[in-house]
Amino acid sequence: MTRSYSNWFVRARLKTRQLLLLAAMEEEGNVRRAADVLGMTQPAASRLLKELEDMLGVSLFDRTPHGMHATLYGEVMIRHARMVLSNLSHAHDEISALRAGLAGQVRIGVIAAAAATMVPRAIASVKERYPQLQMWAEVETSDVMLPRLAEGELDIMIGRVLERQNQFKTEVRYEPLADEPLCVVARPGHPLENETGLTLRGIVNASWVLHPPGSVLRHRFDLMFSQIGLNPPQNVVNTNNFLAISSLLLQSDMLAVLPNEVAGQYQQYGVLKRLPIDLPCRMDTFGIITRQSHLLSPAASVVLEALREAAGVVYGAPSEAAVAR
């Protein structure tokens, strides 16, 4: 087995400042501005970049009159540089936390369905046992979170790997949890609340609050109508912000489509009401996603186990269909 201290970057004496320069150049677009950001002279920055390109034997940036643009080699190196810098930052955070007598810090990214069900249960369990462990929980869509997980900005993600993000499949470890059926929701007391025999034809002309075009949920929703020969709803407000969705529903007779688990939580508290219609529409299986080659910190490992336990309580064992996906 090759020992870590015999790798090329050790022999070539790769500098942390070269990694910082790569990240700065991607953001600033030229050597001069990147040098300013890092507090070094332009000649020093140019020298660091040339040394790095000589080490690798490739050109990392194309020089044009309009600035410098990363080559294919440069994009690969920038992505890995960001991961290294993120890991170093996390190491510093963990050491600082331990020195202060804390248990560590963990960053998780979560889709809405899990944020309303299993994640609060897991966080409550962890905080009860480790009250000084610091946690960040961000609710976002999978397409936004997955690149951040790959670059080390998140420790754990609850979501899905979309088909258009296949380039990440070899970089992550995926544990399937559950399918995500969808339902139609409205305010309590809505005229359709107790309507019997509701069909898609009966609600297509209603006013809707929907996730924006381009999102997976919106695509599945529109496709559901197209498959029975109907144009998708046209009277639509586009937003994926749940506060905006719930506020619009409570102040009008608009309808929305939400994951069934999310709707159930808010129906329990009397905020929203699921309408009596079964939608032939569901989201793909979601699961717990971590980086394949990354060793989780002790704190993140505790959170991961708590998430698995909470998922078992909320969803049970994943179905065969879920595992197959």
Give the residue extent of every domain in the chain.
4-80, 83-179+284-324, 180-283
The half-sphere exposure of 93 on its side-chain side, counting CA atoms within 13 A, is 17
Among residues of the chain, what percentage have pLDDT more than 70?
A: 89
Average pLDDT over residues 103-118: 87
Average pLDDT over residues 23-35: 88
Strands 236-238 and 156-159: unpaired
Domain with residues 83-179+284-324, CATH architecture: 3-Layer(aba) Sandwich (3.40)
Name the class of domain 4-80.
Answer: mainly alpha
Domain with residues 180-283, CATH architecture: 3-Layer(aba) Sandwich (3.40)
What is the identity of the amino acid at 244? A
Buried b (16+ CB within 10 A) or exposed e, 267-297: eeeeebbbbeeebebebbbbbbbbbeebeeb
Dig out the tokens for 273 from the structure.
């009401």
Say how far apart CA 9 and CA 112 lie, in whole Å. Answer: 41
- Alpha carbon 16 to chain centroid, angstroms: 28
Identical fold, 4-80 and 83-179+284-324 = no
Is the backbone of residue 177 left (phi > 0), alpha (psi -120 to 50) or beta?
alpha
Average pLDDT over residues 216-222: 89
With tokens 């953001």, the residue in question is 27
**Is residue 230 predicted with pLDDT exceeding 90?**
yes
Burial of 300 (0-12, 13-18, 19+ CB in 10 A): buried
In three-state secondary structure terms, 169 is helix
Burial of 321 (0-12, 13-18, 19+ CB in 10 A): exposed
**Is residue 138 predicted with pLDDT exceeding 70?**
yes
**Is residue 187 predicted with pLDDT exceeding 50?**
yes
**Is residue 1 predicted with pLDDT exceeding 70?**
no
Say how far apart CA 322 and CA 112 lie, in whole Å. Answer: 18
Say how far apart CA 209 and CA 257 lie, in whole Å. Answer: 8
Is 71 within 8 Å of 100 (Cβ atoms)? no
Say how far apart CA 295 and CA 147 lie, in whole Å. Answer: 18
Say how far apart CA 290 and CA 172 lie, in whole Å. Answer: 6
pLDDT bucket at 91, cuts 50 / 70 / 90: confident
- Compare 177 and 165 and report the one with higher pLDDT: 177
pLDDT of residue 319: 52
In three-state secondary structure terms, 142 is helix
Smallest CA-to-CA distance from 303 within 123, 102, 116, 138 is with: 123
The half-sphere exposure of 135 on its side-chain side, counting CA atoms within 13 A, is 26
Strands 172-186 and 134-139: unpaired
Dig out the tokens for 200 from the structure.
């898609």
